[in-house]
Amino acid sequence: MIQIYTGNGKGKTTAALGLGLRAIGHGLKVIVIQFMKGRINYGELSAVKDLPDFRIEQYGRPDFVNPENPDKEDIELAEKAFLRARQVITSHKYDLIILDEINVAVSFNLIPKSAVLKLLKSVPEDMEVVLTGRYMPVEFAGIADLVSEIKEVKHYFQTGTPARKGFDY
């Protein structure tokens, strides 16, 4: 199955990680490939470091990507993440592959939408792949088996509350 968590609301990555924990609890192997995230001490990195069948790999800088003018390094890192995703899917080593923020990477033109569509069409039937991130290309929904749109109704960032360790990263 191919699942997509998208929308403006908070919780897309969190939902995917929760699915990963559920899968680990049933003896499955999980890998999370994070596009545009790197070198930040996200709590999930510490939480899963001792779980042998739950890997998180980051391919990004600690800085935000400029969507109008992405840094060359951002493009290179996204390409590395995508190559890794392709390797992981063809290796059949993992049962659940989470491509975190891949929708945003496509939206920012870091990786071509056509390449992601081709990869999704090649996913074996016995493998689960999850795509997260805002700005899901409409074509992805046509291939997906499940699409959840997380809608922001209210967010404490709007009142000036900064990101909080343990809850937002």
In a domain, 169, yes or no: no
Cα distance between residue 79 and residue 36, in whole Å: 11
User: Is it the case that residue 59 has pLDDT exceeding 90?
Assistant: yes
User: Is it the case that residue 159 has pLDDT exceeding 90?
Assistant: no
Strand partners of residue 128: 96
User: Is it the case that residue 42 has pLDDT exceeding 90?
Assistant: no
Query: Minimum mean pLDDT among 12-26, 41-55, 70-84, 139-153: which range?
Result: 41-55
CA quadruple 16, 18, 20, 23: dihedral sign: negative
Q: What is the pLDDT of residue 165?
A: 84
In a domain, 167, yes or no: no
In a domain, 39, yes or no: yes
Q: What is the pLDDT of residue 166?
A: 85
Quote the number of domains for the chain. 1
User: Is it the case that residue 98 has pLDDT exceeding 90?
Assistant: yes
User: Is it the case that residue 156 has pLDDT exceeding 90?
Assistant: no
Any idea what the CATH number is for the domain that residue 19 is in?
A: 3.40.50.300
Q: How many CB atoms sit inside 10 A of residue 1's CB?
A: 13
Q: What is the pLDDT of residue 121?
A: 96
Q: Is the pTM of this model over 0.85?
A: yes
**Residue 124: Cβ-neighbour burial (10 angstroms; 0-12, 13-18, 19+):** exposed
In a domain, 168, yes or no: no
**38 Rama class: left (phi>0) / alpha (psi -120 to 50) / beta:** beta
User: Is it the case that residue 118 has pLDDT exceeding 90?
Assistant: yes
Element (H, E) at 57: strand 54-59
In a domain, 13, yes or no: yes
Q: What percent of the chain has pLDDT over 70?
A: 100
Confidence of residue 168 (pLDDT cuts 50, 70, 90): confident
Is residue 149 a contact partner of residue 7, using CB atoms and an 8 Å limit? yes
